[in-house]
Amino acid sequence: QRSLQRQVYAEEAKPLAETYLEPDRPSDSVYTAGHSKLLGPSAFKDPVRKIVQKEPPAGFGHHQVAHWKSTAHASHSPGSIEGAVYNRQTGPSYQAQNPPT
């Protein structure tokens, strides 16, 4: 039961962050308690390494998928705005510039 993260048993419990004398001492500032004393040298001993993406082995994962596009790129066609004329909106945004007739 030493591998559980519950910390129910005495041998599993974390060491106390405060001693029995702490309530009688002047309290630390928010910066001291939350930032300057938060990370000690032990926090930097084993840094988390960056995950480097590798090609999956043959038969697994996605291979040769450079032709895939996002939904936004697949649904947009440059021809849809070809020949359009720029028109500045005047008036309220809920009122159409060229209402249907």
pLDDT (average), residues 26-38: 81
Asked if pLDDT for residue 4 goes beyond 60, the answer is no
Burial (Cβ within 10 Å: 0-12, 13-18, ≥19) of residue 37: exposed
pTM, to two decimals: 0.22
CA distance 56 to 75: 30
pLDDT in tens, 54-73: 777 777 776 677 677 777 77
